[in-house]
Amino acid sequence: MVGTDKETDKQIDSGAPREAEAAADVLIVRRARIPDVEEMLDLINGYARLGLMLPRGPKYAYENIRDFVVAEYTSADGRRQVVACGSLSVLWKDIAEIRSLAVHPQFRRKGLGARILRRLIEDARELGIKRVFAFAKEVGFFTRFGFTPRPREELPSKLWGECSCCPKYYECDEIGLMVELQS
Ligand SMILES: CC(C)(COP(=O)(O)OP(=O)(O)OC[C@H]1O[C@@H](n2cnc3c(N)ncnc32)[C@H](O)[C@@H]1OP(=O)(O)O)[C@@H](O)C(=O)NCCC(=O)NCCS
């Protein structure tokens, strides 16, 4: 089940602690902070190298740190790790974009992407945003949350700002998805 900020989960996966330790492990979703940036970029750029998302550098991450949320996993022995991140970028008065949504490979398919996405959508609602947009290769994740694929010609031009930074600009293989938020 998708939880809220500060919710504590049991250890979720193969980072691998033994069962006896599991109850002590903690997973929270919270706003990103400056010390998280290096780990966030490792996650994002790991997937960028596979062609799954846009690469990001420290300048982008620091300038936009307030847009990001992270999932932080603390193991039974007290070690902390950023295991997922994502951001909500406001583009205009009525629209915001989900960007850099990435879950550590060992923590995928455990509900973490859902927690991050719901938190970002909650942020959009609080801001009074009516529509949330995402570019993705794997639409199956987003469609579960009410996003629907939109033909390129229907996308407002302000959504293309990021695309001009993409090396695949002329041969884009991502799909634009949109969800209308109920007030
Ligand atoms: C896409 C991604 C963020 C999903 O995160 P996750 O933690 O693995 O997903 P969750 O476990 O929260 O899945 C939530 C639901 O979506 C489904 N889902 C997850 N990934 C899916 C996929 N690729 N295709 C279809 N459904 C998917 C899950 O089965 C689950 O469905 P359920 O509620 O019916 O059981 C993650 O796999 C990832 O980091 N991918 C690489 C980077 C990327 O493509 N980011 C998105 C573009 S910005």
Tens digits of per-residue pLDDT, 3-62? 344 444 444 444 444 444 445 799 999 999 999 999 999 999 999 999 888 899 999 999
169 has pLDDT over 70:
no
Query: 102 with 44: CB under 8 angstroms?
Result: yes
> Around Cβ 131, how many Cβ atoms within 10 Å?
16
79 has pLDDT over 80:
yes
Tell me, yes or no, whether 10 lies in a domain: no
- 147 CB near ligand 1 (under 6 Å): no
Q: Closest Cα to atom 27, ligand 1: which residue?
A: 141
Tell me, yes or no, whether 23 lies in a domain: yes
Tell me, yes or no, whether 169 lies in a domain: yes
Percent of the chain with pLDDT over 70: 79
Q: Are strands 68-74 and 131-136 parallel, antiparallel or unpaired?
A: unpaired
pLDDT band of residue 120 (cuts 50, 70, 90) is: very high
Percent of the chain with pLDDT over 90: 67
71 has pLDDT over 60:
yes
Residue 59, domain CATH: 3.40.630.30
- Compute the distance from residue 64 Cα to the ligand 1 centre, in Å: 23
- 144 CB near ligand 1 (under 6 Å): yes
Tell me, yes or no, whether 11 lies in a domain: no
- Token readout for 141 is 């994740």
Q: Could you tell me which residues are beta bridge partners of residue 74?
A: 26, 80
Model pTM?
A: 0.86
1 has pLDDT over 50:
no
Tell me, yes or no, whether 3 lies in a domain: no
- Compute the distance from residue 109 Cα to the ligand 1 centre, in Å: 6
Strand order in the sheet with 175-180: 26-31, 68-74, 80-92, 95-103, 131-136, 175-180, 148-149
Tell me, yes or no, whether 165 lies in a domain: yes
Q: Is 170 left (phi over 0), alpha (psi -120 to 50) or beta?
A: alpha
> Around Cβ 105, how many Cβ atoms within 10 Å?
11
Please tell me the predicted confidence (pLDDT) of residue 157: 67
- 116 CB near ligand 1 (under 6 Å): no
Tell me, yes or no, whether 14 lies in a domain: no
pLDDT band of residue 110 (cuts 50, 70, 90) is: very high
Tell me, yes or no, whether 94 lies in a domain: yes
Note down the domain range covering 60.
19-180
Please tell me the predicted confidence (pLDDT) of residue 8: 40
- For the chain, the domain total comes to 1
Name the residue of 141, 168, 175 to mutate for ligand 1: max ligand atoms within 8 A of Cβ: 141
Output the 3-class SS for the chain: CCCCCCCCCCCCCCCCCCHHHHCCCEEEEEECCHHHHHHHHHHHHHHHHCCCCCCCCHHHHHHCHHHEEEEEEECCCCCEEEEEEEEEEEEECCEEEEEEEEECHHHCCCCHHHHHHHHHHHHHHHHCCCEEEEEECCHHHHHCCCCEECCHHHCCHHHHCHHHHCCCHHHCCCEEEEEECCC
